[in-house]
A = this chain, B = another copy of it.
Amino acid sequence: MVDIATRVYNHKWKIDPIVRSLIDTDFYKLLMCQSVFRNKPDTTVTFSLINRTTRIPLANLIDEGELREQLDHIRTLRLTRGESTWLRGNTFYGKRQMFRPDFMEWFEALQLPPYHLERVGDQYELTFEGKWPEVMLWEIPALAVLMELRSRATLAHMGRFELQVLYARAMTKLWEKVERLQRIDGLRIADFGTRRRHSFLWQDWCVQAMNEGLGNAFAGTSNCLIAKNLDLEAIGTNAHELPMVYAALAETDEALSRAPYDVLSDWHEEHSGNLRIILPDTYGTEGFLSRAPDWLTQWTGIRIDSGDPARGAEVAIRWWQSRGEDPREKLVIFSDGLDVDKMAALHAQFSGRVRVSFGWGTLLTNDFRGLVADDALAPFSLVCKAVAANGRPTVKLSDNPEKAMGPEAEIARYKRVFGVGEQERVEVVV
């Protein structure tokens, strides 16, 4: 087992690059990438880093040279033979050859496209422009690099024992969460914490701790590299970028209103079973569900990723009931801003009424809150989103106006097209 504190103290960053592999990314990115590679390979998309926690002056904390070095390092990565073998030969969600040969050939030859980095005030403007299947693979490594460089900036000033005790405290804190999770009967939980992890080594430790502590209740990790190394299930389905880009490409309001369903129609052709998970909140959950075609009611579940999660789950349950489905056979995956208390409450409220599952992210892999002075290691809300497709801006509304993004006029248009009215504001912590 790696002694993280000693490794950090020695801070041989050169031999500890932040992103070590093209599959040090979320599994759903690869699933979506394959889908995009088939359905929209020539779309030009721009991804952009957005620090929602503006009080954290990333450009003051992180040296631009070091940031470039890490990003450049990622551009040197190629899929290794072992990684390719794993993707081609492993079983994902019970299915062999999840990744088609044409996609794997393309992936084996892939180098991530160039990035554009500029300092603007106290923040970095970091954008990636290119063919959608290539450029989308920047999102997770870019976030992981920024998050970990910010951790390293704080850790660099700490002594050897301070570091040992810092990690001892973080381990104790996580293990106490694991012990509390052990007491939730019928729990089902996966690691979704790659993008905003404290560091790679720390995520790796957290996943091992969850695996040892929770046994079968631990469903796996969204991180492909860690899943491969530890022989765990790789977990994940699809994300907002699909409807956001499909919507941006829509030429008319009518096409726009259909775009979210077009996404799932393409997905429907490719995937079955537990991979058929609806992410309904991109342009408002209630409108999305009420207008959804009947074939969507057959899908396995719904992922709740914004707004009040209990409210979202109740909406989902009512929707299934209204369409003659039995919610007890359906899966609700909670994945937004979770911690143990919230999971325990949601599990108590919904267990038995639906199948409940959790995708635990930032507060699994980056809960260093309260562990150093000025809370300089507390996680914050950094995202990397598709902001344009073929030159047209993307829009996200979500079930929480705090998470909305896009040009104001476009937001207004989308609200009109999707019939989104007043929304409840929920503070975004992570």
Residues in A lying within 8 Å of B, measured CB to CB: 1, 3, 5-6, 9, 159-162, 164-165, 167-169, 171-172, 175, 208-209, 212-213
Contact = CB atoms under 8 A, between A and B. Distances in A.
A376 B169 CA distance: 22
Contacts of A212: 159-162
Contacts of A5: 1
A172 B172 contact: yes
A164 B172 CA distance: 9
Contacts of A160: 1, 212
A165 B171 contact: yes
A32 to B, nearest CB: 33
Contact of A167 (B159, B168, B213): B168
Contacts of A175: 161, 165, 168
Q: How many protomers of this protein does the assembly include?
A: 2
Contacts of A167: 168
Of all A-B residue pairs in the complex, the 4 with the closest CB atoms, nearest first, are A3-B3, A168-B168, A168-B171, A165-B175
B161 A165 contact: no
Nearest to A174: B165
Nearest to A162: B212
Given A1-B3, A1-B6, A208 B172 contact: no
Contacts of A159: 212
Given A159-B212, A167-B168, A172-B172, 19 more contacts: A1-B3, A1-B6, A1-B160, A1-B164, A3-B3, A3-B6, A161-B175, A161-B208, A161-B209, A161-B212, A164-B171, A164-B209, A165-B171, A165-B175, A165-B209, A168-B171, A168-B172, A168-B175, A169-B172
A183 to B, nearest CB: 15
28 contacts: A1-B3, A1-B6, A1-B9, A1-B160, A1-B164, A3-B3, A3-B6, A159-B212, A160-B212, A161-B175, A161-B208, A161-B209, A161-B212, A161-B213, A162-B212, A164-B171, A164-B209, A165-B171, A165-B172, A165-B175, A165-B209, A168-B168, A168-B169, A168-B171, A168-B172, A168-B175, A169-B172, A172-B172
A225 to B, nearest CB: 20
Contacts of A9: 1
A207 to B, nearest CB: 11
A79 B300 CA distance: 71
Contacts of A1: 3, 5-6, 9, 160, 164
Nearest to A1: B6
A102 B161 CA distance: 41
Nearest to A169: B172
A87 B161 CA distance: 29
A167 B168 CA distance: 8
A208 B165 CA distance: 12
A275 to B, nearest CB: 31
Contacts of A162: 212
A237 B282 CA distance: 74
A398 to B, nearest CB: 36
Contacts of A171: 164-165, 168
Interface centre among A159, A165, A209 (most CB of B within 10 A): A165
